[in-house]
Amino acid sequence: MSPDNQPKPASPTIVAQQRHLLETLPFSDRQDFEDAHRGFIAALEPGVVRNSEGRVVWDNDSYDFLAGDAPDTVNPSLWRQSQLNAIQGLFEVVPGLYQVRGLDLSVISFVEGDRGVFVIDPLISAETAAAALALYREHRGDRPVTGVLYTHSHADHFAGVRGVVDQADVDSGEVPIVAPAGFTSHAVAENVYAGTAMGRRAGYMYGAALDRGPQGQVGAGLGQTTSTGTVTLIPPTIEIAKTGEELTVDGIRMVFQMAPGSEAPAELHIHFPHLRALCMAENATHVLHNILTIRGALVRDPHAWARYLSDAIELFGDSTDVVFASHHWPTWGHERAMTFLIEQRDLYAYLHDQTLRLINQGLTGPEIAEVFQMPPALENAWHARGYYGSVSHNVKAIYQRYLGWYDGHPANLWPHPPAAAGKRYLDYMGGADAVVDKAAASFAEGDFRWVAEVLSHVMFAEPDHAGARVLLADTFEQLGYGSENGTWRCAYLSAAHELRHGGFGTPASPAAPDLFAQLTPEQWFDAIAIRVDGPRAWDQRIVIDVEFTDRAEVHRLTLSNGVVSHTQVIGQAAPDARLRLPLPALALLMTGRLQPDGFAEAGVEIGGDASALGRLLGLLDAVDPDFAIVTP
Ligand SMILES: [Zn+2]
């Protein structure tokens, strides 16, 4: 490998930036370290979790390099956050309430009841959740799990559920599974629509292909990274729908506050009156969270988010002495807990209100991001810093939420796409070599943002230009070293990695049959519709009636003008074919795991023109989980 392709040290510009941060941020405030260690009972030793085949699905010990002072290649503020996130073990929050932290991206909480233990948010993988429960039981007794609660519809809060509870105990009614209303459809919906693209981009966001270390992945701000074990889901048996609703499980009384459309589309907060403890799910953590995650998603609503935090203070503040969440460490003491919630509330409210103020002065997203300043009190509150969300990308998200992608300037209404623009830029700027020479000078001056922009034009016009490729990789690397945001660092370093070593695609994620099993017929038909290759399909017309033998439903699928639409109203006209099958067989058919020779065994019958089904499936495009990002 050419030495050019190796990671480089931090440039003088980045070294100076890191020193400046060390002098200006309140590093002498060590309260978070005190809190992150408070109540420590025991760690998992070694801090490694394997699956049944022996493959490592979590390795917290790989972050042992975080001991000591920040190296020049890591933003010292992010280094500090990663040190905190890597503190691993079982902790007592208050007697009767325990957490295991540092065994996944998220945190699992245990509330002790009359007979056993109630579990909140069982991590991402069955293996890490099981390891956390085992660690808890080792020190708190072999208590049975008497209930599970998912605070919201993101996988890091439910997907390890089979590691803590058996399906049979749920089916028998022995163990309730509690979640906010709308949980299941939101939990699976993201996989249906833009899931492939989100998966590829998530690989950048969490640095999945990067080595861990001072020149690689150091953490993701919200937690260190995601575990890679078995993703599971047991649907809720109790759905909570109203603020003020109460539930008692195993003698544990819980009072709920609904927070839909905040950090997740289905989310709730829980107050435990007997513990004077308030669980804020993921709406008040030790980061500025994402209004729009950089893997891509629908834009969240910071206005509602701030409102829910105000309401939580009003509803539960007087009877709360500790606030905890499903990421990071708790905040103890009534005064401190309220200050924390007020600052978190003000954080999202300030972002929202000030972005709109500037929008109405005519500023666009990038302009607002450049001038936006947080109030000094929030700037100096560690929990309000941008380790996961950032002020920069959140204000652009708020712009997007209210005004969309177009900034109102007609030059941006119809621009050339990157490759076509790149060729024209190079032509005007004297060719690729001249641009790379100039970029090298800008690199030496530390203007990495500009170098990234101009060299991206070269990469899209002349992707084989070796000098541009090397310098662009070095540039992304410096931007990564400088980033306070964990996901920005991962994204920049992932881009450098791909320029140096080629695309890493989407790191294999284990199949999740539990999630597929929860898709509704409508979601499956949507999944079919968005895979139709429009141009190949636009002259075809196919009508197939689908009768689900495991539910009394008939749907009509109609392909016309390149669109598959579905309806439960069946017209007079006869379909081309009629398909009878159980819903799980549709999943197999759609994912290519069921061929015609297996139809009889899978309970699939087809009447009428059987070739119609083959013609429809033949018009579906394969998704591309390996698409290029930094090259054309
Ligand atoms: Zn989470």
**Per-residue model confidence as pLDDT tens digits over 289-298:** 999 999 999 9
Q: Give Cα separations from 557 to 468, 517, 608 (angstroms).
A: 50, 21, 15
Compute, in angstroms, the gap from residue 194 CA to the centroid of ligand 1.
19
Cβ atoms 407, 396 nearer than 8 A: no
Quickly state the pLDDT bin for 228 (edges 50, 70, 90): very high
Percent of the chain at pLDDT exceeding 90: 93
DSSP state of 239: E
3-class secondary structure, 199: helix
DSSP state of 173: T
Compute, in angstroms, the gap from residue 244 CA to the centroid of ligand 1.
24
Residue 505 has pLDDT above 80, yes or no: yes
Helix (H) or strand (E) holding 58: strand 56-59
Compute, in angstroms, the gap from residue 105 CA to the centroid of ligand 1.
7
Cβ atoms 5, 499 nearer than 8 A: no
Residues 579-588 have a mean pLDDT of 92
Q: Kindly calculate the radius of gyration of the chain based on its CA atoms and give it in whole angstroms.
A: 26
Compute, in angstroms, the gap from residue 57 CA to the centroid of ligand 1.
18
Buried/exposed 158-180: b ≥16 CB within 10 Å, e otherwise: bbbbbbbbeeeebeeeebbbbbb
Expressed in percent and rounded to 5, the helix, strand and coil fractions of the chain are: 45, 15, 40
Compute, in angstroms, the gap from residue 414 CA to the centroid of ligand 1.
38
Compute, in angstroms, the gap from residue 287 CA to the centroid of ligand 1.
12
Compute, in angstroms, the gap from residue 262 CA to the centroid of ligand 1.
12
Q: Where are the beta strands (DSSP E) in 71-116?
A: 89-94, 97-101, 108-112
Nearest 5°: CA angle at 589, between 585 and 591? 115
Q: Which of these, 131, 157, 163, 158, lies nearest to 145 by C-alpha position?
A: 163
Token representation of residue 399: 């712009």
Compute, in angstroms, the gap from residue 231 CA to the centroid of ligand 1.
14
Quickly state the pLDDT bin for 512 (edges 50, 70, 90): confident
Q: How far is CA 180 from the centre of its chain?
A: 19
- pTM of the model as a whole: 0.96
**CA–CA separation, 488 and 448 (whole Å):** 14
* Count of Cβ atoms closer than 10 Å to residue 206 Cβ: 25
Cβ atoms 176, 507 nearer than 8 A: no
pLDDT of residue 5: 87
Quickly state the pLDDT bin for 510 (edges 50, 70, 90): low
- DSSP lists the bridge partners of residue 97 as 94, 111
**CA–CA separation, 160 and 230 (whole Å):** 7
* 139, 143, 144, 146 alpha-carbon torsion, rounded to 10°: -100
pLDDT digits (tens, 9 = 90+) for 437-453: 999 999 999 999 999 99
Does residue 541 come out as left (phi exceeding 0), alpha (psi in the -120 to 50 range) or beta? Answer: beta
pLDDT digits (tens, 9 = 90+) for 208-225: 999 999 999 999 999 999
Compute, in angstroms, the gap from residue 44 CA to the centroid of ligand 1.
21
**Which amino acid is located at 571 in the chain?**
G
Compute, in angstroms, the gap from residue 108 CA to the centroid of ligand 1.
11
* Count of Cβ atoms closer than 10 Å to residue 183 Cβ: 27
Helix (H) or strand (E) holding 242: none
Cβ atoms 95, 86 nearer than 8 A: no
Look over the chain and give the mean of its residue pLDDT values, rounded to a whole number: 96
Strands 277-279 and 268-272: antiparallel
**Which amino acid is located at 248 in the chain?**
T
Residues 6+ apart with CB under 8 A from 301: 261, 262, 401
User: DSSP assignment of 571-584, as one string?
Assistant: -SSPPSEEEEE-HH
- DSSP lists the bridge partners of residue 258 as 268
Percent of the chain at pLDDT exceeding 70: 99
- DSSP lists the bridge partners of residue 566 as 557
Residue 344 has pLDDT above 80, yes or no: yes
pLDDT digits (tens, 9 = 90+) for 450-491: 999 999 999 999 999 999 999 999 999 999 999 999 999 999
Residues 116-143 have a mean pLDDT of 98
Phi, then psi, of 39 in degrees rounded to 5: 75, 15
Token representation of residue 263: 């950090």
Compute, in angstroms, the gap from residue 326 CA to the centroid of ligand 1.
7
SS (H, E, C) 359-408: HCCCCCHHHHHHHCCCCHHHHCCHHHCCCCCCHHHHHHHHHHHHHCCCCC
pLDDT digits (tens, 9 = 90+) for 594-626: 988 999 999 999 999 999 999 999 999 999 999
Compute, in angstroms, the gap from residue 4 CA to the centroid of ligand 1.
38
Residues 68-94 have a mean pLDDT of 98
pLDDT of residue 501: 96
* 536, 538, 540, 543 alpha-carbon torsion, rounded to 10°: 120
Helix (H) or strand (E) holding 253: strand 252-258
pLDDT of residue 596: 87
Cβ atoms 59, 11 nearer than 8 A: no
**CA–CA separation, 623 and 83 (whole Å):** 38
Please tell me the least confidently modeled range out of 80-84, 239-243, 464-468, 511-515.
511-515
3-class secondary structure, 559: strand
Quickly state the pLDDT bin for 1 (edges 50, 70, 90): low
- Ligand 1 ion: residues within 5 Å (CB): 106, 156, 282
**CA–CA separation, 527 and 506 (whole Å):** 20
Compute, in angstroms, the gap from residue 479 CA to the centroid of ligand 1.
26
DSSP state of 65: G
Token representation of residue 454: 């101009």
For the purposes of burial, counting CB atoms within 10 Å of the CB of 414, is it exposed (0-12), middle (13-18) or buried (19 or more)? exposed
Compute, in angstroms, the gap from residue 222 CA to the centroid of ligand 1.
8
Compute, in angstroms, the gap from residue 52 CA to the centroid of ligand 1.
25
**CA–CA separation, 433 and 420 (whole Å):** 18
Token representation of residue 577: 């074919």
Strands 322-324 and 331-332: antiparallel
3-class secondary structure, 50: strand
Please tell me the least confidently modeled range out of 61-75, 276-290, 556-570, 582-596.
582-596
Compute, in angstroms, the gap from residue 276 CA to the centroid of ligand 1.
23
Cβ atoms 620, 532 nearer than 8 A: yes
